[in-house]
Each structure stands twice: as C-alpha cells, then as structure tokens.
C-alpha cells in the first residue's frame, strides 16, 4: 500500500478538511484515500462525525476503506457508540463498506432500534452485510420489531434489509402481519410481497398491503354490501 507519509506532511494533506468549501474537502478526502497513511485515520474518523456534505462524507468513508481494517476498526467501533448521531450513522456505513465480520458484535439491539432514523437505517443495512451464517433468523426477528416505523424512506430501508436476508425473514413477517397496529401489519404485508416478488416495487406493494389491511378490518356486513 502506498503511503504519503514518506514525502508529504499528513497534517498538510488533511488540512483541506477544515476548508469551508466542500469541493476542497472532497479533493482532500480523495487524496487521503488515493495515497493512504496510518496517521490519516483519526482525522478521517473525526470528520466523518461532523462533515455536513453527503458527498464528502462518502469520500471520507472511501478513504477509510483504503486503510487496513486493523487500523480503522477500533475507531469505528468506538464511533458507533458516540453521542452524535452522525458519528454513529457514518461509522456504521463505513463498517458496511469494509465488511469485516469482526465488527458484528457492535451491531447491538440498541443500534437496530436507535431513535435516530438515519442511524437505525445504517444499522439495518450494516447488519445484513455483517450477520454471521446461522444468525440470520435472529436478525430478521430483531428487524421485524421496527416494522411500521417512520416515513416511506425509513420503511423502504427496513423492507430492503428484510428482503436481503431472504426466506429467513418470512416467519417474522408472517407474525407481524397479525400485529394490532395496522401500520405494522401493512408494512409487514408489503415486505412479504416484495420478498416473493422483488420487482413489484415498494410503492405498489404498500398500496396493496394497505388495501388488504383495510379490507380485513372492515365490518363483515360492509364487505357483503359491497359485493
């Protein structure tokens, strides 16, 4: 692996991360990943937690993936427990890109149900990437407890995670389809539709699920009159 520490000052290379211009910060993160150096890791992690621009954050993650996991994992595992939501979310996103299953124990029930939707969504995606063989069913059950949560984007992320796990999600979805909350039932049904027909599209699946839930909850005489 090429390093820049031999002929360039790391502090000088990363100084651009403090610049007010996102284009400069983006180029700096790109340079840090193009010529990685162990001394970059701490500063890259620090800026993942505070960087306001999505594209710069993504480049910071890429730069971290260019460094050995032995250097990045300890800091990332600390960041998933950080107080700042963005720090947790971006650390989880980076762990998903690294894909090292040594990080699996850090994907706790608390993260899977984090109060911040962005953190929870990152945790769901990362859990699917890191889950060890044999633990998929338990993960599906944990994810199913979040059905009905949030707006469309959050619900789509959860459905995608459950569908990515495959048929092991079916029992948890079947159980959630009988939940007392109609929002949970609709989300579970929509996800089941996607599980069996991934090309159906989330929007149509949700509308069909809502229709099923509405019909199931309608008075019997009302359904007979409508026949």
Taking every pair of Cα atoms in the chain, the longest distance, rounded to a whole number of angstroms, is 82
Backbone angles phi, psi at 88, to 5 degrees: -65, -45
Percent of the chain with pLDDT over 90: 76
Q: Is residue 171 domain-resident? A: yes
Q: Say yes or no to pLDDT of 160 above 90.
A: yes
56-72 mean pLDDT: 97
Q: Say yes or no to pLDDT of 225 above 50.
A: no
CA distances from 177 to 124, 156, 213 (A): 20, 17, 9
Q: Is residue 40 domain-resident? A: no
pLDDT given at position 13: 82
Q: Say yes or no to pLDDT of 16 above 60.
A: yes
Inter-residue contact 146 to 112 (CB < 8 Å): yes
Taking alpha carbons only, the member of 199, 190, 200, 154 closest to residue 169 is 190
- Tens digits of residue pLDDT in 185-201: 999 998 998 888 776 66
Q: Say yes or no to pLDDT of 131 above 90.
A: yes
pLDDT given at position 8: 60
Of 111-120, 133-142, 187-196, the poorest mean pLDDT is in 187-196
CA distances from 52 to 18, 48, 215 (A): 12, 9, 45
Inter-residue contact 3 to 36 (CB < 8 Å): yes
The vertex-23 CA angle with 22 and 27, nearest 5°, equals 115
Q: Say yes or no to pLDDT of 95 above 70.
A: yes
pLDDT given at position 50: 97
Q: Is residue 129 domain-resident? A: no
Q: Say yes or no to pLDDT of 222 above 50.
A: no
Packed helices 117-130 and 85-98: angle between N→C axes, nearest 10 degrees: 20
Buried b (16+ CB within 10 A) or exposed e, 35-45: bbbebbbebbb
Q: Is residue 204 domain-resident? A: yes
pLDDT given at position 18: 95
pLDDT given at position 11: 74
158-167 mean pLDDT: 95
Query: What is the reported pTM?
Result: 0.84
pLDDT given at position 199: 67
pLDDT given at position 10: 74
Q: Is residue 55 domain-resident? A: no
Inter-residue contact 5 to 37 (CB < 8 Å): yes
What's the mean pLDDT when you consider all of the chain? Answer: 88
Q: Is residue 121 domain-resident? A: no
161 Cβ contact list (under 8 Å, min separation 6): 124, 125, 127, 128, 143
Q: Is residue 44 domain-resident? A: no
72-88 mean pLDDT: 97
Q: Is residue 226 domain-resident? A: yes
Number of domains in the chain: 1
pLDDT given at position 20: 96
pLDDT given at position 219: 39
93-119 mean pLDDT: 97
What's the domain range around 222?
Answer: 136-227
pLDDT given at position 1: 45
């Amino acid at each position: 692996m090429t390093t820049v520490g031999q002929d360039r000052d790391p502090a000088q290379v990363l100084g651009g991360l403090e610049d007010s211009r996102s284009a400069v910060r983006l180029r700096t993160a790109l340079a840090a990943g193009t010529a990685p150096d162990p001394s970059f890791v701490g500063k890259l992690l620090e800026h993942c937690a505070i960087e306001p621009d999505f594209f710069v954050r993504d480049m910071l993650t890429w730069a971290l993936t260019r460094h050995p996991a032995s250097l990045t994992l300890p800091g990332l595992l600390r960041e998933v427990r950080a107080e700042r939501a963005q720090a947790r979310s971006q650390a989880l996103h980076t762990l998903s890109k690294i894909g090292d299953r040594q990080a699996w124990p850090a994907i706790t029930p608390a993260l899977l149900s984090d109060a911040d939707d962005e953190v929870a969504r990152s945790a769901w995606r990362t859990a699917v990437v890191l889950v060890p063989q044999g633990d998929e069913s338990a993960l599906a059950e944990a994810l199913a407890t979040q059905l009905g949560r949030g707006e469309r984007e959050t619900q789509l992320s959860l459905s995608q995670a459950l569908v990515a796990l495959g048929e092991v999600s079916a029992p948890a979805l079947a159980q959630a389809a009988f939940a007392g909350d109609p929002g949970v039932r609709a989300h579970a049904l929509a996800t089941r539709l996607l599980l069996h027909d991934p090309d159906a599209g989330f929007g149509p699946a949700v509308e069909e699920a809502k229709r099923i839930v509405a019909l199931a909850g309608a008075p019997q005489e009302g359904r007979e009159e409508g026949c």
